[in-house]
Amino acid sequence: MLAKVKQFFNQVQGNEMQQTQLDNKLAATALLIEVSRADDDRSHAEQEAIFQLLKKHFELSDDEVRELITTANQTSDDATSLYQFTSTIKKNASREQRVKLIHALWVVAYADGEVDPQEEATIRKVADLLYVSHSDYIQAKLQAE
């Protein structure tokens, strides 16, 4: 009986961990999309950068990336602010992971060859909401250039 109870709680904990990982992926993808939308010019280069970043970072297949992007687009369309995405990441990600996300946001912003002030403002806002220090913000920007 005790073994069955332990198995149940391990299964619940495993499901919660999988849900947290899915939430983090969805939130990160939505933030990448928000940066690409910030300048009202969703270039092919930015979309390709998002696709490749997700594929590499999360080790997903092409179909899984497409599905994640579709879901994140819908979620982002329904969002009223960036807070719902940043709060998920802030709660579940380490400092290093948050800085890597800021770097990824810069990669998307630079993908089309120029950074629009709206893209930079969006990244700055995300960095603030994630409690990423200014020095880490600048270092991520410089690395993405």
* Per-position pLDDT tens, the chain of length 145: 445 444 544 444 444 444 555 589 999 999 999 999 998 888 899 999 999 999 999 999 999 999 999 999 999 999 889 999 999 999 999 999 999 999 999 999 999 998 999 999 999 999 999 999 999 999 999 999 8
List all residues 6 or more positions away from 65 whose beta carbon is below 8 Å from its beta carbon: 51, 54, 55, 58
Output the domain CATH number for residue 28: 1.10.3680.10
Number of structural domains (the chain) is: 1
112 with 41: CB under 8 angstroms? Answer: yes
pLDDT at 5: 44
pLDDT at 95: 96
Q: Summarize pLDDT for 45-71 with one digit per residue, the tens.
A: 999 999 999 999 999 999 999 999 999
pLDDT at 124: 98
Q: Summarize pLDDT for 94-108 with one digit per residue, the tens.
A: 999 999 999 999 999
Q: Which domain holds residue 90?
A: 2-144
48 with 88: CB under 8 angstroms? Answer: no
If you count them, how many residues does the chain have?
145
